[in-house]
Amino acid sequence: MFNHLKKDHTVWYDTERIWLGDSIVSQISEGIDQSDCFVLLISEDYNQSAFCQREQNVIIYRHINRRKRLLIVKINNAKISNIIEDLRYIEYSSNSRNMQPIYDEINRVCEATVTRIDEPDFDRDKLIDDILQFKSGCMELETYTYSTSGTIKDKDFILNEGVIIIKPGGTFFRPCLEEIFKRIVKKCIINRVIVFDGRAIKRMELFDKQYNTPVRIAIGDIELSGKDYDEINRIYNTVEFEKEYGAAYSNSLVVPALKLCEEENIELDELTRLWDEGRQPNKFWNGKHDGLNKIGYQKSVYPIKGRYTNQPDVRIVVNGYVPGLKKLFIDNESRVIALHISTNEKWNELRLNLIGHKSDPNSCKDGTIRKDATRGLIPLDDIQGNVVNGQRNICHMSGCLFDGMRELTVWFDMESTDTVLGKILKNKGIIPESIKIAMEKSLPDISWSITKSNNGEIDDIIFHVIDEADVLNNFIVEKEIQSALFQEIDTIVQNYLNDAKLQIDMKENPDLLEKYTIIEKRLKAFITEGLYYKILKNERYFARRVAKVFEDDNNEEILTSLFYEVANEIEKIIQRDGNTNVSSEIVAEAYKIAANDIKFISNNIYKSNVYSPMLFYSKIITELPEQAIKCAQRVKYNFVKELSSINLNVSSGNATCIRDRKEWKTFVENDLQYLVKQYQNTISESPITTLILCGGRSTRMNSTIPKHILPLGEKFLFDWVSDMILEATNKSSMIYATTGFRAELSDLVYGNKIRSIKNELAFGPGFRVATCLEALKHNDGLFIVVYTDMPYLSPTAVRNLIEHVKSGNTSKKTFGMMTSHADLGGYVRRNAQNKIERVIQGRIAPRNISDEMRRDVGLYVFYNTQEFRDALLDVSNPNVRGEYYFADVVHELYKKGWNIVDVEETKANSRCVNTSSDLLLLASDIDVSFNFDIIRDNFKKNYKMSIPEHNRDRNTLRNAIMRYNGPFYFIKFPE
């Protein structure tokens, strides 16, 4: 087939276009985008391939959205997807040698145009005659009888579909119908036509079903939100309102229209007459106290004076157009014509250019049915009434394809899965019951989001239906998620427990239960995200859910597009690696980590405070897919190790001291002499040398960016600590950044502004400090070691600690450390004489600690003597992580009889940045600031994050931050 077709066509064929080393996904995507016609050879093998199914879906969407031609060849009676089963296809048997019918059909398809019922092939007069003969009830007309061919043609295309309603109000009139149908059939195929009278509309409750959202708002079933009331308050809570209506504004004046009619016994027509006064040009949407104003999707309000049962004599009526519109539809003399249409036009463009996209006809585009009716270009029946306004606006057209699917179920009693969109959703695993719930309960959110978007294409619609406005969480897959959680989560948790070799009966160890419960809660949240990814069955749907983090950002479109590219690369890596060690929760977390870091590097600090911003940005983005997966894998590893720490007699199983570690011996033999020589020239007359530990991998920050170059306010974490040290030592300290993880990023941020000692070996901070001290062994002066995640330490406390160490003794055998009563991870244990004897890491040894113990702050002062370095090399790694903690040197020094002193730091100054929650707390300054506006502005100014304005409760916000675990930008501020 390929050899034959390439004679007359440019043909994309994988074996000819994809070379060794090429990205398969990228090359196929490029081929799809560049092609005008697709030939799908569907066999059972093709159907069994998940990769081929994704490819088929993309082709189908291109076919629908961009009108690309499609030929289906069904091989050996293979099953065809329900989305395309109605299209013309060719049967082919693998036993056949005759390919000519396929070649002929390809030529026909390449030359074909979309079939539509148009002027030469459509008896418009006959259709209008039949419509006007309608008397009562409801009647469906068979549209094929108006086609001169007498048959419905085979389908060559999947078309967008929905509903057009010709509304009552002077339209049941031959000249009017002739003009309307003349315009419609130029753009659409009319599949079905049903005519109703008002009694049938009322009996079948079609009005309430059609205008589901505005009617429920007018009844009060859908309550106004806090934002709605804020907007109403902004418009009407004025001095002018009080003067005009004799009463001050209050929320109690706001009443849904149909509820008001029922409570006050007001006729529907009468309320609408009063409402229509607000349609005067000087009042309509004027944003003032006396105006009829839109406050949200399908929500309008207008103050109406009247004699009400209770004072005052004014009500701010919600959706006052609904009573009159309902009257218009259900009046005995009303006639409504419903059309099931299909089109190859983009739906949003058709609505904009054919019907008119605004309810107010005067606001519609020139040449549309609604606008031309106001200009007299579409004649109306004077007897029925020729008024044209927001209610009597001639025609309605489904707002989007999702609305179209819903309205086909209303007016034509179709099942959702019989519609094009319904078939696609079903093919994506969305059950009909879930689609129905989404149509009933989430219609405002889905319709509004899709209607206001620019494309309205099928793939965009699907993403919105699945994910927009909490549909994902509340409706579409909630049942599946809950079922999966019920069936799978305990098994998955047990797998983690098995990996951790945790076999403790918590009932017999109640002191460990609380620790386990905290870990389990975080673990289940982690697993749940993976189940969402798994159940959605399509990475782009989950990606869209994650991409909501970019909403309301000024660069939302750019950031979202960039994120989709990164997400696509994440999928490529997983496919490349055979998906063997990548669980669904790792992929889900990698998506969130990637989105989080894209948000991070969009902040101004990475543009203004970086030595080489473009190179930094490029390196982050280029490496983000792989780094995000690695970070997510470490997150999973951390869960296993945290669970392992609960075990009794916990250990790494092969503990060794630093000096016996083979990597240490390799370092001494191969790297040490070079480092000593390299840094010997940097040793100055400075009385103090500081090592700022910057080697962490930001795993608990859920980021791929090294922690020391994450922003805290307007400075990086490293700069906070560096500035504090310079102030504490009167700028007399030589400062080194001890970098490891992605050290090159630190170079791109700082250039040559700071001194760095690099070592990529990741065996814990104790190992890192040991390599640095050996590299600087010719300097046996006073050293400070401090973690980069302690930004607020007091220079005064540091100075005090330095003096304690200096005055301790003349043999340089005094070790100083800073302690606090803050909630930190290192617990300081003292002997009976109140002497410090060791530091216990609570995260890995939770059984040996108590809340009464003081905590290790993470700043130490000592002399870099050979004896100290020897004690550090004696530090072992018996913990579950197999890491060397620098604070473990305390016990080695204690055993050797050293004098260990401490200075207490305040809790306020001992705030640490270990996790995203910690960074959020410090970024908001919520622990010391009681001014909500300052807290909110801190987030907005430095991180472009928005806190809901109407929730100003500091404690609620702080509790939400404290409970949070995950990437920085994915916190949900309390509503």
Over range 153-177, report the average pLDDT: 82
Over range 537-542, report the average pLDDT: 62
Of 582, 584, 596, 583, the C-alpha closest to 547 is 596
Is residue 175 in some structural domain?
yes
CA–CA distance, 328 with 334 (Å, rounded to integer): 7
Q: What is the CATH number of the domain that holds 347?
A: 3.30.70.141
372, 490: one domain: no
CB 611 within 8 A of CB 753: yes
Over range 563-592, report the average pLDDT: 84
E strands, 183-298, in order: 189-197, 254-256, 293-296
Q: Measured between alpha carbons, how far is residue 745 from residues 262, 629, 706, 722, 742 in Å?
A: 68, 18, 8, 18, 6
CB 527 within 8 A of CB 492: yes
Looking at 422, 440, 455, the residue that finishes a domain is 455
Long-range contact set of residues 504-510: C-beta below 8 Å, sequence gap at least 24: 504/646, 504/647, 504/648
Q: Residue 463 above 60 pLDDT?
A: no
How would you write 679-722 as a 3-class SS string? HHCCCCCCCEEEEEEECCCCCCCCCCCCHHHCEECCEEHHHHHH
- Binned at pLDDT 50, 70 and 90, residue 24 comes out as low
361, 465: one domain: no
Helix axes 510-536, 584-600, angle to 10 degrees: 90
697, 844: one domain: yes
Over range 365-369, report the average pLDDT: 94
- Binned at pLDDT 50, 70 and 90, residue 455 comes out as very low
CA–CA distance, 132 with 194 (Å, rounded to integer): 12
Question: Which domain, by its residues, includes 376?
Answer: 124-148+157-207+332-455
380 phi, psi to nearest 5 deg:
-120, 155
Percent residues over pLDDT 70 in the chain: 85
Q: Residue 119 above 70 pLDDT?
A: no
Is residue 944 in some structural domain?
no
CA–CA distance, 262 with 267 (Å, rounded to integer): 9
Single pTM value for the model: 0.63
CA–CA distance, 817 with 804 (Å, rounded to integer): 10
472, 587: one domain: yes
Per the prediction, the chain carries an average pLDDT of 84
CA–CA distance, 784 with 818 (Å, rounded to integer): 11
Is residue 932 in some structural domain?
no
Is residue 957 in some structural domain?
no
444 phi, psi to nearest 5 deg:
-60, -45
Domain count, the chain: 5
- Binned at pLDDT 50, 70 and 90, residue 21 comes out as low
Which among 137-141, 373-377, 435-439 has the top mean pLDDT? Answer: 373-377
599, 514: one domain: yes
573, 619: one domain: yes
38, 58: one domain: yes
CA–CA distance, 553 with 731 (Å, rounded to integer): 40
Q: What is the CATH number of the domain that holds 811?
A: 3.90.550.10
Is residue 90 in some structural domain?
yes
Looking at residue 154, its pLDDT comes to 45
- Binned at pLDDT 50, 70 and 90, residue 809 comes out as low
- β-pairing, 189-197 with 335-343? antiparallel
CA–CA distance, 792 with 725 (Å, rounded to integer): 11
27, 44: one domain: yes
Looking at 270, 296, 328, the residue that finishes a domain is 328
829, 721: one domain: yes
300, 338: one domain: no
Is residue 338 in some structural domain?
yes
For residues 455 and 694, the model is more confident at 694
Residues 6+ apart with CB under 8 A from 459: 61, 65
Of 448, 179, 486, 522, the C-alpha closest to 296 is 448
Is residue 947 in some structural domain?
no
Exposure pattern of 499-525 as b/e (b: 16+ CB <10 Å)?
ebebeeeeeeeeebeebbeebbebbee
569: left (phi over 0), alpha (psi -120 to 50) or beta: alpha
450, 468: one domain: no
475, 447: one domain: no
CA–CA distance, 340 with 67 (Å, rounded to integer): 20
> Comparing 43-52, 63-72, 806-815, which segment has the lowest mean pLDDT?
63-72
Is residue 942 in some structural domain?
no
User: 117, exposed or middle or buried, with CB in 10 Å at 0-12, 13-18, 19+?
Assistant: buried
Looking at 426, 455, 484, the residue that finishes a domain is 455
